[in-house]
């Protein structure tokens, strides 16, 4: 039986990535893709790579038609999905939101970081945070799933085993992360021009990035107390890919525990988390185009610190691939369905 799928906001990078992956998903039936700005155009006019794979035209959002779908993906900018969500939820449609509209449970905190009043705070409690490696059982029963951001995905997968085992000081977590320019979306901006980003490397949002409160809230639930996290993102001159270098202080009584074993045991049954052999240094190119997070754990000599290296494709495991992973869980399919690709090299 096919899953009837609608996509709202299909002209950005996460939208085309959803189309690319769903086009080869054996249980997916792409019925609707919306775009007010491109309504009437064939998808392949914008994305020629989909010729012969996707036979759809963009249309204006019609929520009666979308409600007839089994699942609707929102690949819209932040503070957009929340204005339309209630109609679909009332109709009983299952929804996977790739934006930040339902990721943070504290409404006031969300409003502070996104500078707008939330349009439907009454739905926030029902939204399940879509990190499968943490909330798989809740995702299976969910009607509304809020996909994590790309940085939070890379950071949390690197920190979860340490926090769950209680082996690090959760009041002094530090993450130095880097992303390719596709993380900023497909909108036109001077900062995203190749002439601006090429041959350059910079930090941004050092005083506070929107993904920080989302990550702190999620990790605090795991730790069962408020964690403290310093997170500085950087922009690097590549299109896609994300690396997070995570630093934490080991607690005194746990210094001699094998952290490699801890990570391997935590993720041994996770199809999309690959714990590399000890001493490895994962590269973003190894996960390009696939829904995999690669991790490596390091302990500097004569130090009480642990360093975790985490790499993902920000558009796949950090967005659209993770969204499809959630769909597979929601519809009781093998989690790897449609996501069993191999990374692109070179």
The answer to whether the peptide bond before residue 346 is cis (omega within 30 degrees of 0) is: yes
User: Catalytic residues, which ones?
Assistant: 150
Q: Are strands 202-203 and 144-146 parallel, antiparallel or unpaired?
A: unpaired
Contact between residue 290 and residue 313 where contact means Cβ atoms under 8 Å apart:
yes
How far apart are alpha carbons 340 and 79 in whole angstroms?
Answer: 32
Neighbouring C-beta atoms of residue 259, cutoff 10 Å: 21
Taking CA atoms, 58 is separated from 11, 36, 43, 311, 337, in Å, by 9, 8, 6, 33, 26
How far apart are alpha carbons 106 and 18 in whole angstroms?
Answer: 29
Could you report how far apart the first and last alpha carbons of the chain are, in Å?
A: 37
How far apart are alpha carbons 110 and 220 in whole angstroms?
Answer: 16
| CA 343 from centroid of its chain's CA atoms | 17
Which of 45, 102, 96 is CA-nearest to residue 72?
A: 96
SS3 104: coil
């Amino acid at each position: 039986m096919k899953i009837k799928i609608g996509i709202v906001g299909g002209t950005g990078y996460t939208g085309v990535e959803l189309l690319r992956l769903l086009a080869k998903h054996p249980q997916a039936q792409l019925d609707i893709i919306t775009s007010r700005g491109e309504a009437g155009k064939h998808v392949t006019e914008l994305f020629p790579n989909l010729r012969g794979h996707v036979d759809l035209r963009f249309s204006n959002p019609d929520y009666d038609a979308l409600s007839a779908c089994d699942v609707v993906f929102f690949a819209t900018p932040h503070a957009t999905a929340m204005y339309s969500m209630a109609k679909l939820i009332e109709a009983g449609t299952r929804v996977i939101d790739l934006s930040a509209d339902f990721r943070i449970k504290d409404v006031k905190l969300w409003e502070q970081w996104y500078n707008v009043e939330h349009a439907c705070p009454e739905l926030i409690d029902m939204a399940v945070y879509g990190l499968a490696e943490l909330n798989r059982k809740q995702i299976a029963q969910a009607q509304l799933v809020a996909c994590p951001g790309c940085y939070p995905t890379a950071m949390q997968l690197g920190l979860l085993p340490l926090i769950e085992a209680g082996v690090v000081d959760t009041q002094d977590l530090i993450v130095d992360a880097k992303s390719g320019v596709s993380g900023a979306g497909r909108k036109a901006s001077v900062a995203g021009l190749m002439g601006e980003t090429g041959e350059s490397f910079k930090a941004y949002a050092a005083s506070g990035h929107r993904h920080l409160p989302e990550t702190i809230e999620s990790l605090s639930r795991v730790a069962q107390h408020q964690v403290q996290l310093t997170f500085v993102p950087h922009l690097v001159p590549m299109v896609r890919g994300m690396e997070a270098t995570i630093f934490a202080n080991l607690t005194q009584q746990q210094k001699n525990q094998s952290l490699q074993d801890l990570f391997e045991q935590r993720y041994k049954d996770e199809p999309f988390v690959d714990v590399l052999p000890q001493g490895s240094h994962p590269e973003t190119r190894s996960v390009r185009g696939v829904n995999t997070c690669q991790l490596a754990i390091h302990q500097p000599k004569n130090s009480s610190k642990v360093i975790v290296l985490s790499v993902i494709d920000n558009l796949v495991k950090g967005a659209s691939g993770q969204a499809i992973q959630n769909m597979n869980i929601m519809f009781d399919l093998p989690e790897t369905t449609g996501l069993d690709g191999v990374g692109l090299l070179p």
